[in-house]
Amino acid sequence: MRSRANKRRRISLFKKWPYCYWCRRQLTLDGNPNGRGPVPENFATLDHLRSRLHPERQTPNPNCEERIVLACPTCNQKRSTEETRALSKEELWRRSGAYPGVGYDG
Ligand SMILES: [Zn+2]
């Protein structure tokens, strides 16, 4: 299953840099391995860096890989909320016909 690959990836990322990518708090891999009980607030979660919304999006990504970092649940949640907001704004632009950079000459 996908979760097994994610688990392996979490461990490998954790060995390289056991901190939240965003707030730099130290993370832990321990905690509710069976999905039961509360998740520690410094539990290491996987967070996908989306180039389009990332502030350093001009930084070259030589391998064209999706970048994955570790984040604490708080930052992970915060970011996903922000991304949702950004996407709906974009959607609004698109609907209003004012979406920048999109041509209609097809
Ligand atoms: Zn964090």
Residue 104, domain member (yes or no):
no
CA of 76 to the centre of ligand 1 (A): 7
Q: 0.85 cut: is pTM over it?
A: no
Q: Is the pLDDT of residue 106 over 50?
A: no
CA distance 83 to 53: 7
CA of 73 to the centre of ligand 1 (A): 7
Residue 102, domain member (yes or no):
no
CA of 5 to the centre of ligand 1 (A): 22
Q: Is 70 helix (H, G, I), strand (E, B) or coil?
A: strand
CA of 20 to the centre of ligand 1 (A): 5
Residue 106, domain member (yes or no):
no
- Domain with 80 in it: 2-96
CATH number for position 9: 3.40.1800
Residue 16 C-beta-side C-alpha neighbours within 13 Å: 10
56-81 per-position pLDDT tens digit: 555 555 555 557 899 999 999 998 88
Number of domains in the chain: 1
Average pLDDT over residues 40-65: 69
Residue 73, domain member (yes or no):
yes
